[in-house]
């Protein structure tokens, strides 16, 4: 009897995990890990500290972090190694977590697709809510961990200039490698939309091969070893928790009754908005999948405030990403970030939903 109950849950978890590994690891996570390792190896620490560090002006670093994420078509898991790479290289907590929050929800591809599926009104509200909550998230993270931020700023000032700052040629080599890795991450997600997975892999393999050839010819063996060492650090810290979290999400998805979701998420009240937020923060959405999912729920009676709330936390949070964030940034920082984003996005979605709809 117990086996009959557990077997469908086990199958659901393994099915979700298999789909995730087959469809997202190679073309999404692999280039993201390589990009994070390259950022930590080749980016000038001085440049990051100057523009995104604790001593930099928040009027510059916060908008820069939000705007820099526009071109990255990433999900809540893919963005983690990139954001953590920025932080390890000298970025303040505020910009790092703003990037973590805005990249999955505000990239160009997501916004365009959201507009096509959900309409202009919902998409504009999504942009307004994501940006407004992002800046508050950054301020909260900087304030709560202000003592640690001061200590990191002092250490950064005492460190000598590092990789990426060894003259124009070195800087250009590093920049070109980073751009190639960004192209490897973006092209499959932009050009591969609606195509069979094998075509998406082919699109990925071309820039990835070019990147590896360029790295082999442009960098010394020791530099490449350091890059691979940093990349492996991110893989070792993040990947196992992502797999565990995706499996749990599959199990949870098999448990929650669809009828219950439809009944509970109706209307624009604060409780349905909060519950939609919680649901969105746990479920894993790959890039672009949150919009059709929300559209389906809205057709079944989901209110616009809950829909907006799910559009905020759906791309930016998931159970796998929560586990990975706590592992990389410490449990305390992860907890503050998760609680803050859920509260802020609930309030923003509730307020906008009742003011404009």
pLDDT band, residue 311 (cuts 50/70/90):
very high
Q: How many domains does the chain have?
A: 1
Q: Kindly indicate the confidence band of residue 214, based on its pLDDT and cuts at 50, 70 and 90.
A: very high
With 80 as the cut, is the pLDDT of residue 278 above it? Answer: yes
Question: For residues 285 and 173, what is the distance between their CA atoms, to the nearest angstrom?
Answer: 35
Mean residue pLDDT of the chain comes to: 84
Look at the chain and count its residues: 357
d(CA 294, CA 198): 28
Contacts of 21 (CB under 8 A, 6+ apart): 243
Output 348 or 79, whichever has higher pLDDT.
Answer: 348
Mean pLDDT of 255-283: 83
**Is residue 241 over pLDDT 80?**
no
What pLDDT does 343 receive?
A: 96
- pTM for the model stands at 0.76
Which neighbouring-strand residues pair with 302?
266
With 0-12 CB in 10 A as exposed, 13-18 as middle and 19+ as buried, what is 349? buried
Quote the tokens at residue 220: 């010394």
124-167: pLDDT as tens digits: 999 999 999 999 999 999 999 999 988 887 776 666 555 554 55
pLDDT in tens, 12-63: 888 878 887 877 788 878 888 898 888 878 877 677 767 787 767 888 889 9
- Report how far residue 312's alpha carbon sits from residue 132's, in angstroms, rounded to the nearest whole number: 11
SS (H, E, C) the chain: CHHHHHHHHHHHHHHHHHHHHHHHHHHHHHHHHHHHHHHHHHCCHHHHHHHHCCCCCHHHHHHHHHHCCCCCCCCCCCHHHHHHHHHHCCCCHHHHHHHHHHHHHHCHHHHHHHHHHHCHHHHHHHHHHHHHHHHHHHHHHHHHCHHHHHHHHHHHHHCCCCCCCCCHHHHHHHHHHHHHHHHHHHHHHHHCCCCCHHHHHHHHHHHHHHHHHHHHHHCCHHHHHHHHHHHHHHHHHHHHHHHHHHHHHHHHHHHCCHHHHHHHCECCCHHHHHHHHHHHHHCCCCCCCHHHHHHHHHHCCECHHHHHHHHHHHHHCCHHHHHHHHHHHCHHHHHHHHHHHHHHHHHHHHHHHHHHC
> Cα separation of 315 and 75, whole Å?
6
Structural domain boundaries, residue 166:
2-356
Residue scoring higher pLDDT (203 or 168):
203
Q: What is the mean pLDDT of residues 245-249?
A: 76
């Amino acid at each position: 009897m117990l086996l009959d109950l557990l077997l469908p849950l086990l199958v659901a978890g393994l099915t979700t995990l298999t789909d995730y590994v087959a469809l997202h690891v190679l073309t999404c996570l692999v280039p993201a890990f390589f990009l994070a390792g390259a950022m930590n190896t080749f980016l000038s620490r001085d440049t990051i500290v100057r523009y995104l560090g604790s001593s930099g002006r928040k009027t510059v670093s916060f908008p820069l972090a939000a705007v820099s994420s526009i071109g990255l078509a990433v999900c809540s898991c893919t963005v983690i190694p990139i954001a953590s790479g920025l932080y390890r290289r000298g970025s303040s907590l505020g910009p790092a977590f703003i990037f973590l929050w805005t990249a999955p929800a505000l990239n160009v591809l997501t916004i365009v697709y959201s507009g096509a599926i959900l309409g202009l009104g919902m998409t504009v509200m999504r942009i307004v809510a994501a940006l407004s909550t992002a800046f508050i998230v950054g301020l909260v993270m900087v304030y709560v961990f202000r003592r640690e931020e001061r200590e990191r700023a002092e250490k950064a000032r005492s460190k000598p200039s590092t990789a990426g700052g060894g003259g124009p040629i070195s800087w250009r080599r590093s920049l070109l490698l980073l751009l190639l890795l960004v192209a490897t991450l973006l092209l499959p997600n932009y050009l591969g939309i609606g195509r069979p997975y094998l075509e998406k892999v082919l699109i990925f393999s071309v820039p990835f091969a070019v990147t590896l050839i360029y790295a082999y010819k442009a960098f010394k063996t020791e530099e490449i070893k350091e890059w691979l060492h940093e990349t492996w650090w991110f893989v070792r810290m993040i990947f196992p928790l992502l797999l565990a979290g995706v499996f749990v999400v599959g199990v949870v998805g098999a448990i929650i009754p669809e009828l219950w979701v439809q009944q509970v998420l109706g209307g624009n009240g604060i409780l349905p908005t909060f519950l939609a937020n919680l649901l969105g923060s746990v479920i894993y959405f790959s890039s672009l999948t949150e919009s059709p999912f929300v559209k389906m729920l809205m057709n079944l009676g989901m209110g616009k405030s809950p829909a907006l709330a799910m559009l905020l936390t759906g791309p930016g949070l998931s159970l796998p990403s929560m586990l990975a964030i706590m592992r990389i940034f410490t449990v305390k920082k992860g907890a503050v970030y998760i609680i803050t984003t859920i509260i802020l996005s609930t309030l923003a979605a509730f307020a906008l939903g009742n003011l404009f709809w």
